[in-house]
Structure 1
């Protein structure tokens, strides 16, 4: 896979944030167009063309929510001068023209913006992953999480106990349309590869001292957005990968 790196980020990923680490986000700031837009989008489009089953899943019952997500993305892009949005096409900042396919909305969204998009819909007491375009997984595999509830999705994460699960579920229940929330993470890696899936059955390697060895900082800005009609929750992930020297100081 290509080495695609940003030089800058709109936040300091290494700054300590008090728990739970969630903050309000303006809708106008939801979608980020950064200095890696063109190469990231070229990679996304190749993955969608050549490895669709690995990066895109939508349950039939999630199609209306996925179409609502596409509408929301187009509404946001129409307000940005970098995009030319028409009834049938969008011309993107890299010059690529995307045809709007409403019967395949997640594939269309995946060709427009850098964010990976996960749709979660309430079933019983938990939100379930009912659809996603996930081109840049960091250590997980979409097929293993698809149509699973939040607690099951996080099963391999030892820190994700029932107490944290309840807090996350309250966050998903509480987010309101037009008032998204966001958080960040930051991890050091040896390999800058953006498409980095890993099965739950693959053992985790022991962590090394991140302050001395690993040359790449990978940070996700994760946003939680409520769709007003379907009431589905969108968990979006914008992925940044920087060389150590371009990251903020620890």
Structure 2
């Protein structure tokens, strides 16, 4: 992955963990495209070819909404990135990208959401309202951040968020999120989430059973103790927008991965590292378990404090 300065730094205190933190989104900034576009798309094609049923799901009756997503993306990408996308006989395409998806997609390679997902670096999740609430009815999730698309498929928001401390059924945050989804109209919104992982893998699933086991055993992610050598910051940029025709909600998730050590070369490294360390140290036991940081919190916080002080040790 890239070693340039991180594009997004929500750990500066602007997007605290385990809060909702939705903010209005400029429509022109809906989708992010960078120099890693083709490598992200290649990775999506590989996942579609190797594990199609784990990265794409759909309910019957969602194809029209999926097509609506594809049409919105087509218009947005051509208008905002004409140097990267062009119109072709089959729709639009990434200039210079490999054709095809590299294999069948669970028998649904003709699904519009699959076509849409192979244009952008974002994962795409479609939510629909019924008597049980807002349910996950279709999704392309090639880059999961410690969750399983199969396990969440068909479930309402309060069940999807059940493992998240403070966001499960009957909590204040669960009710608030449902009301926000209901009230979402033409204005798109965005939020950020972040975590730490021990490699630069984009595909990072975790089942509920694995999550329970991790919380119970609390394994370290850095057995040799060298946080700087192995830690990567995983930032999720999430957007929500209500589709104008179907009234379904499209949830996009864009993953940014940066080695922790790049912060040492950031012009605001002292403030960033200090804020990062402070937030990690304020997480309670349940939150640390959820993030898989229980065993590594102190090592990570100490590394960040050294970085904040400007000690050359943080550059090693």
Cα distance in 2 between the residues matched to 1:73 and 1:24: 19
Q: Deviation digits for residues 202-244 of structure 1, max 9, x if unmatched?
A: 122438699x825200000010111000000011000000011
Tell which deviates more after alignment, 43-52 or 155-164: 155-164
1:181 alignment partner, one of 189, 207, 218 = 189
How many pairs align? Answer: 245
- The question of 1:96 aligning with 2:98 is answered yes
Cα distance in 2 between the residues matched to 1:89 and 1:9: 33
* Structure 1 residue runs without a partner (length 5+): none
Residue in 2 that maps onto 1:41: 41
Distance 1:89 1:152, change over 3 A: same
Q: Which structure: greater helix fraction?
A: 2
Q: Which structure: greater strand fraction?
A: 1
Structure 1 residue 166, shift from structure 2 partner: 0.8
Question: What is the DSSP-based 3-state SS (H/G/I as helix, E as strand, rest coil) of the residue aligned with 1:21?
Answer: coil
Per the normalisation by structure 2, the TM-score is 0.71
1:1-250 matches, cutoff 5 A: 4-5=1-2, 7-17=4-14, 20-79=20-79, 80-81=81-82, 82-97=84-99, 103-124=110-131, 126-161=133-168, 162-177=171-186, 179-202=187-210, 203-205=213-215, 206=218, 213=227, 215-247=231-263, 249=269, 250=273
Distance 1:73 1:6, change over 3 A: farther
- Higher RCO (C-alpha 8 Å, min separation 6): 1
Question: What is the DSSP-based 3-state SS (H/G/I as helix, E as strand, rest coil) of the residue aligned with 2:11?
Answer: coil
Question: Would you say the 8 A contact 1:98–1:111 is kept in 2?
Answer: no
Question: Would you say the 8 A contact 2:132–2:156 is kept in 1?
Answer: no
Question: Would you say the 8 A contact 1:110–1:133 is kept in 2?
Answer: yes
